[in-house]
Chain A
Amino acid sequence: MAHTLSSPVAAEQHLVGSWQSRLLRSTLNNRSLTIGLLIITSLGIVALLAPWLAPHDPYLQNTANRMVPPIWHETGSWTHPLGTDRLGRDYLSRLIYGTRISLFIGLVVALISGLIGTTLGVLAGYFGGRVDAVVSYLLTTRLAMPVVLVALAMASLMGGSMLTVTLLLGLLLWDRFAVVARSATQQLRDAEYVQAAQALGCPLPYILLREVLPNIAGALIVVATLEVANAILLEATLSFLGMGVQPPSPSWGLMIAEGKAYMFFQPWVITIPGSALFILVLAINLLGDGLRDLSAPGGRNE
């Protein structure tokens, strides 16, 4: 903890404006955060407005119009800007609806796993001792399981569907939340403001929710962004392997899987959803990186 006094001028600048405006300024100064936020917001809008943005019904098959190439091909047309797939479905519309699936799964999985992991981690970090031993054991057990294999096995047992994939990944991806929450809470447990709250007789939920949680939230949000990206990739993986979202849903992973037979002669059936996946995951990681920089010492909470 820095006890050095910064120069009055620097301190003054640091204090100018409300914390909201200071947050806004440091956000705009952070390029990766701005780019990530911009891409994700636009994709979020696309997902929300899918029915109005998509030029065609993503499920409508037209066998007379199969494998139409995208617009940059000499035979492409504006009717299907990104072409059609092997069943004649409009590729752009499927891509747009696929955004919904990817974002939904990413967010819900991060929410479920975040809830599980944070609860376990905070309890382990705060109480230590036996609670910590139990949580650490659960964590080790979880880390010993390869996520893709377990998810594949479970999905094949329960039948792949969007719900199954979401629940499975939510129950599997809590490890990083738990690790980060545990170590962050361990550091805070002996913080003097936590002791002050204990000495006041604050009830345990108050201490955990109001004193501990807000102060580890920064680290957890960074983990959450990484897990969203992770979950989106895993969903695509599972869908590609046929154990995730089932056809005819327009999942990006499924689109890649369905296109793999045509990959050498019509590479765009793979590169288009692949690029979409790449951009989304990149944007989320940029956002996570930017948030980490923002929550690092030097901000409001040094």
Chain B
Amino acid sequence: MSSAEIPVDPLALELCALSKTFKLGGGMLHKSRTLKAVNDVSLRVPRGQVMGLVGESGCGKSTLAKMLLGLTPPSAGDVLINGKAIVNANQKALARHIQPIFQDPYSSLNPRQRIAQIVGLPLRIHAIGTPKEQAVKVEEMLELVGLPKRAAQQYPGQMSGGQRQRVAIARALIMRPDLVICDEPTSALDVSVQAQILNLLLDLKDEFGLTYLFISHDLAVVEHLADRLAVMYLGQIVEEGTREQIFTAPRHPYTQALLASALTPEPGLGVPDIGLGAGQPDPTQPPSGCAFHPRCPVAQPTCSQQAPTLSAIAQTSAQATRHGNQARVACHFA
């Protein structure tokens, strides 16, 4: 599934300078602080591809997902789905095009409803078909995600994590959306179940011609799934490129560290030392210049003064001409 063969246009999803700022605290006595959870993010997701979005906890991945789903209004910038801006769009109209699969299958299903009710909810809310047709569709969908028929009458509490995630997938796909936001859909699952769910997601993608925005902090999962990859740090995208580009030749020091931090199954190697020092800085007081410079192993004096822009990497002839292979990185020295 090399990205090179797939035409770049039309884009399923485009983010234009998207930002989200939260005001924290702020009472009579102390000033409120602002948190730039998502800071000027621009990203293009071609139709039919899987865009992986990686980054450590708290880098703004989930806030980004919420904005895409219309759950949080962006502070600035635009989200375009199929070329149309979603700001001020009707939530129901938006829901037809974009659906979420959440991280925790234990909290993403209402424990008081039967599986048939949960999966059929989108059809009921959008008044698609008669109750009978809806029931048929629910049954089809459950079969597609590999659940037995009797699952329809069960409650989420009677199911395993993997089964629940299948239910969540069925709910997300029953209205045939174009775009699915997968917010760490496997991180709450057993390793043995993760692979099943990932393969199911890939099968369904081919079946329905879906586009995925796949948010994860698990690089192994992303490597398995993603066509393209964007790396986020403190609310900004620091590197973007195809899977091959990112995994074989990461340019940004943060991406390099992230890849180095992946644990190997090899015993005796221990936990890799990635030389990033302590955790990421307080996002309410981001460092000057390049946000990564306090932790960067190759930081220079300019890094703390001047913020690098996310710019295209000059590439060798044949590759560089294809927009689909366009790689971008935000580092002075990449």
Binding site for B on A (CB under 8 A): 1, 3, 5, 15, 19, 191-193, 195-203, 206, 210-211, 214-215, 300-302
A213 to nearest B CB, angstroms? 9
Binding site for A on B (CB under 8 A): 66, 69-71, 90-95, 98-100, 102-104, 106-113, 118, 121-122, 125-126, 155, 157-158, 160-161, 168, 171, 188, 190
A297 to nearest B CB, angstroms? 11
The answer, among A5, A200, A201, for a CB contact under 8 Å with B160, is A5
10 contacts between A and B (CB under 8 A): A192-B103, A193-B108, A193-B109, A193-B118, A196-B102, A196-B108, A197-B121, A200-B99, A201-B91, A201-B95
Q: Quick check: B108 and A192 within 8 Å, CB to CB?
A: yes
Q: Quick check: A300 and B155 within 8 Å, CB to CB?
A: yes
Q: Quick check: B125 and A3 within 8 Å, CB to CB?
A: no
The answer, among B103, B122, B126, B155, for a CB contact under 8 Å with A19, is B155
B170 to nearest A CB, angstroms? 12
* Residues of chain B lying within 8 A (CB to CB) of residue A198: 69, 71, 91
* Residues of chain A lying within 8 A (CB to CB) of residue B108: 191-193, 196
Q: In whole angstroms, what is the CA distance A300 to B113 when docked?
A: 12
Q: In whole angstroms, what is the CA distance A193 to B100 when docked?
A: 10
Name the residue of chain B whose CB is nearest to the CB of A211: B110
B212 to nearest A CB, angstroms? 16
B26 to nearest A CB, angstroms? 13
Q: Quick check: A195 and B157 within 8 Å, CB to CB?
A: no
Q: Quick check: B171 and A196 within 8 Å, CB to CB?
A: yes
Apart from the given pairs A199-B91, A200-B92, 7 other A-B contacts in the complex at a CB distance below 8 Å: A191-B107, A193-B107, A196-B108, A199-B100, A201-B94, A202-B125, A301-B157
Q: In whole angstroms, what is the CA distance A211 to B103 when docked?
A: 19
B167 to nearest A CB, angstroms? 11
Q: Quick check: A195 and B126 within 8 Å, CB to CB?
A: no
* Residues of chain B lying within 8 A (CB to CB) of residue A211: 110
* Residues of chain B lying within 8 A (CB to CB) of residue A3: 106, 161, 188
The answer, among B106, B122, B168, B188, for a CB contact under 8 Å with A200, is B122
Name the residue of chain A whose CB is nearest to the CB of B69: A199
* Residues of chain A lying within 8 A (CB to CB) of residue B90: 201
Q: Quick check: A1 and B121 within 8 Å, CB to CB?
A: no
Name the residue of chain B whose CB is nearest to the CB of A19: B155
A69 to nearest B CB, angstroms? 55
Q: In whole angstroms, what is the CA distance A214 to B114 when docked?
A: 13
* Residues of chain A lying within 8 A (CB to CB) of residue B106: 1, 3
